[in-house]
């Protein structure tokens, strides 16, 4: 009898383990990320406010940009208020995981390393890491920057790419807080070149009529996506659905044409 009871107990214990008894609850059942935003009636977007044209502070002191316009439309359809929260780009993951923001949405490049700490939406735009130099620099390519000072945004993928590049040991890497500061320093001659996102560089050059040149060398192509907390799958999925609907009904293309002159988004 004891042997039978022992066998029954082991069988019951096995079933309990398979069913998750006494363990952690199913993450999908406890994911209230979307409901929290709906209950709060606001969606807090974290961004670098010096990253035109994706998200930046304009001359009137307003935070604007492509990502901001898209996020505003998403919030309109979600029925919540968009809150734009400027953050230190170096501390973006901490701000997200501490709950200070609901997402990072500001030309955020997808990388394997970042995928370990956050959940990404589907990519919505392509980008390239390019070198920008002043008109009188004389450089024809990346290797002409040997012995020069090259500026980059601190905490950006461009900084990692530059450190890992073949010329890293031959240049002085100078980090700056944001891309606008970096471009001003380049204009003033305090750095010889800047490595940055092509989206930012081309927008700045053409919108401000600056005499900068883009070198033919590139340190790779990237894709932009929205970063969410790990486990916030319902919020991520709902926003992804809305963006896909915006692509289908032409709203996303209209916003892209406003900022870039054509629809350069890659949303399916």
pLDDT on residue 205: 81
Domains of the chain, with CATH numbers?
30-124+225-260 (3.40.190.10), 127-222 (3.40.190.10)
Query: CA–CA separation, 154 vs 26, rounded Å?
Result: 38
Which SS3 state, helix, strand or coil, does residue 78 take? helix
pTM, 2 dp: 0.79
Specify the pLDDT at position 24.
Answer: 45
| Interatomic CA distance for residues 232 and 262, integer angstroms | 32
268 residues of the chain, pLDDT tens digit each: 444 444 444 444 444 444 444 444 454 568 999 999 999 999 999 999 989 999 999 999 999 999 999 999 999 999 999 999 999 988 999 999 999 999 999 999 999 999 999 999 999 999 999 999 988 888 999 999 999 999 999 988 999 999 999 999 999 999 998 888 999 999 999 999 999 999 988 888 878 777 888 999 899 999 999 999 999 999 999 999 999 999 999 999 999 999 988 899 999 8
Question: CA 35, CA 37: separation in Å to the nearest integer?
Answer: 5
pLDDT at position 6 is 44
> Which of 101, 109, 114 lies closest to 33, judged by CA?
101
Distance (Å, whole) CA 48 – CA 51: 6
* Cβ atoms 243, 252 nearer than 8 A: yes
Neighbours of 17 (CB within 10 A): 11
CA 136 to centroid of chain Cα atoms: 33
Q: What pLDDT does residue 149 have?
A: 96
């Amino acid at each position: 009898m004891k042997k039978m009871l022992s066998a029954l107990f082991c069988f019951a214990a096995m079933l309990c383990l398979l069913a998750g008894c006494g363990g952690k609850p199913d993450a999908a059942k406890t994911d209230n990320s979307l409901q929290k935003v709906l209950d709060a009636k606001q969606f807090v977007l974290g961004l670098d406010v010096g990253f035109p044209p994706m998200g930046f502070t304009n001359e009137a002191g307003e935070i604007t940009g492509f990502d901001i316009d898209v996020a505003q439309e998403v919030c309109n359809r979600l029925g919540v208020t968009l809150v734009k929260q400027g953050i230190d780009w170096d501390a973006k993951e901490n701000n997200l995981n501490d709950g200070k923001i609901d997402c990072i949405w500001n030309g955020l490049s997808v990388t394997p390393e970042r995928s370990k700490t956050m959940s990404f939406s589907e990519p919505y735009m392509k980008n390239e890491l390019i070198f920008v130099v002043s008109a009188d620099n004389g450089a024809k390519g990346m290797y002409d920057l040997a012995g020069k000072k090259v500026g980059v945004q601190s905490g950006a993928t461009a900084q990692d790419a530059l450190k890992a590049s073949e010329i890293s040991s031959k240049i002085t890497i100078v980090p700056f807080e944001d891309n606008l500061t970096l471009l001003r320093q380049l204009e003033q001659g305090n750095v010889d070149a800047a490595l940055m996102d092509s989206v930012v560089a081309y927008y700045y050059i053409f919108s401000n009529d600056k005499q900068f040149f883009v070198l033919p060398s590139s340190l790779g192509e990237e894709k932009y996506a929205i970063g969410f907390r790990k486990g916030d799958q319902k919020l991520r999925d709902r926003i992804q659905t809305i963006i896909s609907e915006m692509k289908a009904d032409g709203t996303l293309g209209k916003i892209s044409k406003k900022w870039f002159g054509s629809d350069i988004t890659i949303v399916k």
